[in-house]
Amino acid sequence: MRNAYAIGLDVGGTRIAAGLVERKGRIVREVKLSTPKGSGPFAIVDAIVDAVSEITSGLHPSEIAGVGIGLPAQIDFTRQSVEFCTNLPLAGIDMRGLVMSRLKYPVTIDNDGNTAALGESRYGAAKGIKDFVMVTLGTGVGGGVFIGGKLHRGSRGFAGEIGHMVIVVDGPECPCGGHGHLESFSARPAVIREARAAAETYRGSSITRLAGGDADAITAEIVIEAANAGDEAAVEVMSRVGDMLGEGLVGLVNVLNPEAIIVGGGIGESCPMVSKRAAGRIAAEALAGRRDVRVLIAELGNDAGVAGAAALAFDDHDSREGIH
């Protein structure tokens, strides 16, 4: 069938996932590969092209509506250019042009927080919700804002960087170079940093046991496992992650009056106390009339990026064809 599928790519610092996605969001074929490290942008383009070739084998090009790519980067959506990228060497690289020159499909790129929000909006926890804020807690903190049923992109497409709201004046340095941003409290490196300190204070903590007695072996997953099992030190660490997230969300709830907040990413989805604590902060601190905002956990998990990038490609196709 013509344009029955779109290809969604979720390009991360460690992994690239590519999926062949139906209009209703079902991923019918998927490949995952490691992101080529240290060999520059062309190796990443090669990997993307290889992944697309693999999942489209046997299909006629007319069956593909297009390719959507979510990148961990600041993207000028109007120009379709990568402006900044901290984890991959893509800044200033015309990713869309490079990929498009190698494939026979139209290509659209977007920030991965936006594609995750698009995915949850179309196929996941935010289905049917017009005004919501998506926040993803993982290696970094990303996000996307939906207003009136549409992704809010701002003047150049950079909107939605929830991870870079200032939570504490002159706080710890953020990977972006700023200070006290939400990402410096609620992403994986912050969890590990705080857990090392907490494991020092609480000597019998299961964080230490799970890490085999080696503070350098502590991962966010270990801390979450311990927190979910009720370990005091881990609960303290993860509660603080949720409180800091809540502090940021209070401001967004007051400004945007969303119907829901969708909490996703590896940390958000595997540690319910994070969203619970954040909801508690909102209930305590948001202005009257806004406190009934629902705080929901994302539903698509690792598929949000691929499904959302495919939704982006379908939308781009439909607007080119004048389909609404």
Cα dist from 25 to 101, 151, 196, 263, 324, whole Å: 27, 18, 40, 20, 17
How many Å apart are CA 35 and CA 17, to the nearest integer? 9
Given a contact cutoff of 8 angstroms between Cβ atoms, the answer to whether 282 and 314 are in contact is no
178 binds Zn ion (CB under 5 A): yes
Region binding Zn ion by CB under 5 A among candidate stretches 133-141, 168-176, 200-208, 313-321: 168-176
Region binding Zn ion by CB under 5 A among candidate stretches 56-64, 90-98, 106-114, 160-168: 160-168
Return the number of other C-beta atoms located less than 10 Å from residue 177's C-beta.
Answer: 9
* Backbone Cα Rg of the chain: 20
CB-nearer residue toward Zn ion: 86 or 302: 86
How many Å apart are CA 205 and CA 196, to the nearest integer? 11
> x/- binding map, residues 202-221, to Zn ion, per CB under 5 A?
--------------------
Cα dist from 243 to 9, 182, 281, whole Å: 32, 10, 7
Please identify which residue in 122, 153, 164, 188 interacts with Zn ion, judged by CB under 5 A: 164
Q: What are phi and psi of 210, to 5 degrees?
A: -65, -25
**Closest chain position to Zn ion (CB):** 174
Shortest distance, position 189 Cβ to Zn ion, whole Å: 12
CB-nearer residue toward Zn ion: 183 or 315: 183
181 binds Zn ion (CB under 5 A): yes
- Contacts with Zn ion in 99-158 (CB under 5 A)? none
Region binding Zn ion by CB under 5 A among candidate stretches 60-68, 109-117, 126-134, 161-169: 161-169
CB-nearer residue toward Zn ion: 156 or 276: 156
Shortest distance, position 173 Cβ to Zn ion, whole Å: 9
Please identify which residue in 64, 93, 174, 312 interacts with Zn ion, judged by CB under 5 A: 174
Shortest distance, position 319 Cβ to Zn ion, whole Å: 32
Shortest distance, position 202 Cβ to Zn ion, whole Å: 29
Shortest distance, position 162 Cβ to Zn ion, whole Å: 10
188 binds Zn ion (CB under 5 A): no
Residues paired with 261 in a beta bridge: 133, 295
Cα dist from 82 to 76, 161, 211, 233, 246, whole Å: 6, 15, 38, 40, 30
Matching residue, tokens 């942008």: 41
Q: How many residues bind Zn ion (CB under 5 A)?
A: 5
Helix runs in the chain, H state only: 40-55, 95-102, 112-123, 183-186, 188-201, 206-210, 220-228, 232-256, 265-270, 272-285, 303-321
CB-nearer residue toward Zn ion: 173 or 200: 173
Contact residues for Zn ion (CB under 5 A)? Answer: 164, 174, 176, 178, 181
